[in-house]
Structure 1
Amino acid sequence: MLPRHADPIAAIATAPGRGAVGIVRVSGKGLAPFVQGLLGRTLRPREAHYLPFPDAQGQAIDRGLALFFPAPHSYTGEDVLELQAHGGPVVLQLLLARCLEAAQGLLPRLRLAEPGEFTERAFLNDKIDLAQAEAIADLIDASTEAAARSAGRSLSGDFSKEIHGLRDALVHLRMLVEATLDFPEEEIDFLRKADAQGQLSNLQQSLGRVMQRAQQGALLREGIKVVIAGQPNAGKSSLLNALAGAELAIVTPIAGTTRDKVQQTIQIEGVPLHVIDTAGLRESDDEVEKIGIARAWDEIAGADAVLFLHDLTRQDAPDYVAADADIAGALPEKLPEGVPVIDVWNKIDRAPDGGHAPAAPQAGAHGAVWLSARTGEGLDALRRALLAVAGWQSAPEGVYIARARHVQALQAVDAHLMEAGAQLASDHPALDLLAEELRLAQNALNTITGEFSSDDLLGVIFSSFCIGK
């Protein structure tokens, strides 16, 4: 624990701005004398007291509720004082300043809290583990109902319980393997009798199930970046407006209307998708449009999925078909390997033959969708296709929120277990290498819940929290 963790801390714990109620929170060791000096009376533990909050001259700054939570039965595991006042920013700043002023003789070293420091102390004092701490931030930042419910499950410990179950099975297997290192002449028979191979196989199957749910949870939290690309006037802006259900992008018959990206986050079955409309891809002498086209390719290069939009009303025009073929040839060069491209054939309401016989080449191997951005026909099929390429499989009720680092840690565990399995399956396994792979797998698991985490990792995680949380 770093020296700063011993300092008492204070902060406004509610969001900036005006509101009905605002909270000033103080956390530290031995707050009782400070509470007495600040409020002029003692407070019964975990009981709301309605009283004035006096300034240094005894005049009331405000009247509100004061609650005192003695350690260890508090959010941080330390003594915690909460002052609940009217939610004006000036009132809360006055209360915070008064706390810092009163601390000069009563609570030395009281300072303003850093972002996420209250939750960091809850983690350091074993009130929550690291996955639960991250779930608090994810619950605050949730952009969909499904993400909020999944974050709630992680906060209640569902994800952590899965990780602890994997760790316990891994520890048991490590004990078997490391015990054989002391009896090398019996090592192979001992492991076979203990069914080490079967235990490892069961562990890998359990890990696979956890990885699948974690990947779904990470998708709920992060979403995917979807870029709409294609020639001018193919209907990209109309498609963005149709998916968003709002007039976000300007739509005109004039080619090149969109000069810069327009972005909107939508949700499909609770999965956030960050949809970006880009400038039409073509050769241009207009300097402004050329900048927009360059930015469009930059967005395409960073996409998780691309909607390659085609215009069915021009599917028989040789120049249009040739330009589409050029874009189709350029996309694989711009996109990282494995990024899906969905061919979207727009304007079926205006196509002479109904738009069922595209002449232009397809760029992607993920099928094609026919739709009308103007009438909405076919939009549901596109939404299903987007969920499919995103990898969404589970119903929200069975998913807990997870982060990219959790998925990466589980993938590292999987890689180490595969190496361990290869050692066990060999005729002459190197048990010291097998033991090392299992140790590394356990270390990777422990980084998820924080039982093995560097101070640098903690700094990155908690710095993303709001101040006062």
Structure 2
Amino acid sequence: MSSHFSRIGDTIVALATPQGVGAIAVIRLSGKEAIQITNRVFFGKNLEEQASHTIHFGTLRDGDRVIDEVLVSVFISPRSFTKENVVEISTHGSSYIINQVLRLLIRQGARPAEPGEFTQRAFLNGQFDLAQAEAVADLIHSDSEASHQAALHQMRGGFSQEIRELREKLIHFASMIELELDFTEEDVEFASRDDLRVLVEKLLRVVENLISSFDLGNVIKNGVPTVIAGKPNAGKSTLLNALLNEERAIVSDIAGTTRDSIEDEINIGGVMFRFIDTAGLRETTDTVEAMGVNRTREKMKSASLILYLFDLGDTDMVEINRDVNKLENIGVPFIKVANKLDKSNNQFISELKEKYPDTIFISAGKKENLDVLKEKVLELVNLDKFRTGNTVVTNIRHFDSLTRTRQSLLDVLTGLDEEVTNDFVAMDIRRSLHYLGEITGEITTDDLLANIFSKFCIGK
């Protein structure tokens, strides 16, 4: 069990802004004595006499020595992020000043905060549930519009509300069945089995939708792994450089230059894509190049999207047909991208358009039609469900709990079909409630909380 669970009454302090030199830094305290501790070293107004949500100018001093001129923001319990007394001190962003202030406050009775301890206290004090607390970390780490919106929706309680509604309906039936167990000799029915079946089937549909949204949620949170695959010298590295607008990959006329995969990210339409430039697909006797080709095939199988790139001036229809068949067998969505427009003839282009009308024609070297390619890439991700405001599951822990919930609900239906006794039905319902409760924190263990909040940054 993490040590700070038993020290919840301490006043904690940490730097809330990133490490390093900057214009300002914010040092945050939370706890019963946060205002008194700060007041002992702050020279300005008496902070203990000030109203909540006020800001005050003054100096921080260690004895007679002035450390810095600061602004101090006061938040009085329960009107703060943690629902405790909170003070935020804005200092100049010198690392020397920051260290001096932290050491001063620790000598006055505060202790250094552990990772995620501010957010953990907010959860323990009922500011929000566990799913919302986890969304705080996701919001901090969001690097695209889509991941930002998903985290914000979860932090505001959209996901939690759906889970709470599911639990409340199940709790009602669970209590009715438990009541029946107290009247087994009376042969009374407080909970209609038909109504319970209707409810469980309805809940299953909701849970299934949430589970199925995880693929999209994972893409939104972690980016779309997109492999650029094709023969050597098809222009894969040139395309990666063109998409990134920088010379990230080595470009050469010598076939087989790329021996291992090169990855980088680009934001397209508010979604992060992890583009992976791979070794060219061909048979080779070069041991190192062969290893790269094998890795390419593995990357293709694990990708969410493949850009099949071929050189219009060095590829015939037979080869394209063969490659398309292989890609279809892999089962990963792919886009046919015809590169080097200036090296082809109109007849071959017409044949391609007739047989594969969804082919995207580009010139990576001249950066022609890249916008068309980006639009097609974004289209295949299919963010319609996300953009209509539906809840999207982005957390693997939530996905796991929902999967267990689904199995428990299926067990309830099996029990009803086989007309098992009430105690077994009640047991399956209680398991469903347990797994749903794990998501929002109604069911927790200290180890679970320690694991979740240890992944937060210090100061949050």
TM range (shorter): 0.7 to 0.9
Q: 1:431 aligns with which of 400, 419, 422?
A: 422
Contact 2:268–2:374 under 8 Å retained in 1? no
Q: Distance in 2 between matches of 1:313 and 1:187?
A: 82
Q: Distance in 1 between matches of 2:38 and 2:335?
A: 65
In structure 1, the partner of 2:16 is 13
Instruction: Mark the runs of 5 or more structure 2 residues left unpaired by the alignment.
Output: none
Would you say 1:99 and 2:89 are equivalent positions? no
Identify which range, 347-356 or 40-49, moves more after superposition: 347-356
Q: Distance in 2 between matches of 1:356 and 1:451?
A: 62
How many residue pairs match? The answer is 447
Contact 2:180–2:189 under 8 Å retained in 1? no
In structure 2, the partner of 1:251 is 251
Contact 2:269–2:378 under 8 Å retained in 1? no
In structure 2, the partner of 1:28 is 31
- Name the SS for the 2:385 alignment partner: coil
Identify which range, 196-205 or 349-358, moves more after superposition: 349-358
- Name the SS for the 2:437 alignment partner: helix
Contact 1:232–1:281 under 8 Å retained in 2? yes
Contact 2:60–2:70 under 8 Å retained in 1? yes
Contact 1:216–1:393 under 8 Å retained in 2? no
Give the counterpart letter for 2:205 in structure 1.
Q
Identify which range, 20-29 or 184-193, moves more after superposition: 184-193
Shift of 1:212: 5.4
In structure 2, the partner of 1:204 is 204
- Name the SS for the 1:314 alignment partner: coil
Contact 1:169–1:203 under 8 Å retained in 2? no
Would you say 1:75 and 2:78 are equivalent positions? no
Give the counterpart letter for 1:241 in structure 2.
N
Give the counterpart letter for 2:60 in structure 1.
F
Shift of 1:137: 1.2
Closer, same or farther: CA 453–204 of 1 in aligned 2, 3 Å? same
- Name the SS for the 2:384 alignment partner: coil
Identify which range, 43-52 or 184-193, moves more after superposition: 184-193
Q: Distance in 1 between matches of 2:218 and 2:286?
A: 41
Q: Distance in 2 between matches of 1:95 and 1:356?
A: 71
Q: Distance in 2 between matches of 1:398 and 1:458?
A: 29
Aligned residue runs from structure 1 range 349-360, under 5 A: 349=341, 350-352=343-345, 353-355=347-349, 357=351
In structure 2, the partner of 1:392 is 383
Give per-residue Cα distances to partners, 1:19-39, cap 9 Å, x unaligned.
Answer: 222111122233344233222
Contact 2:35–2:86 under 8 Å retained in 1? no
Closer, same or farther: CA 230–4 of 1 in aligned 2, 3 Å? farther
- Name the SS for the 2:257 alignment partner: coil
Give the counterpart letter for 2:150 in structure 1.
S
Give per-residue Cα distances to partners, 1:8-50, cap 9 Å, x unaligned.
Answer: 3211110122322211112223334423322256301422110
In structure 2, the partner of 1:280 is 280
Aligned residue runs from structure 1 range 385-424, under 5 A: 387-388=379-380, 390=381, 392-396=383-387, 398-399=389-390, 402-424=394-416
TM-score (norm 2): 0.84
Aligned residue runs from structure 1 range 261-300, under 5 A: 261-286=261-286, 288-300=288-300
Contact 1:135–1:155 under 8 Å retained in 2? yes
In structure 1, the partner of 2:96 is 90
Instruction: Mark the runs of 5 or more structure 1 residues left unpaired by the alignment.
Output: none
Closer, same or farther: CA 304–4 of 1 in aligned 2, 3 Å? farther
Aligned-pair Cα RMSD in Å: 3.4
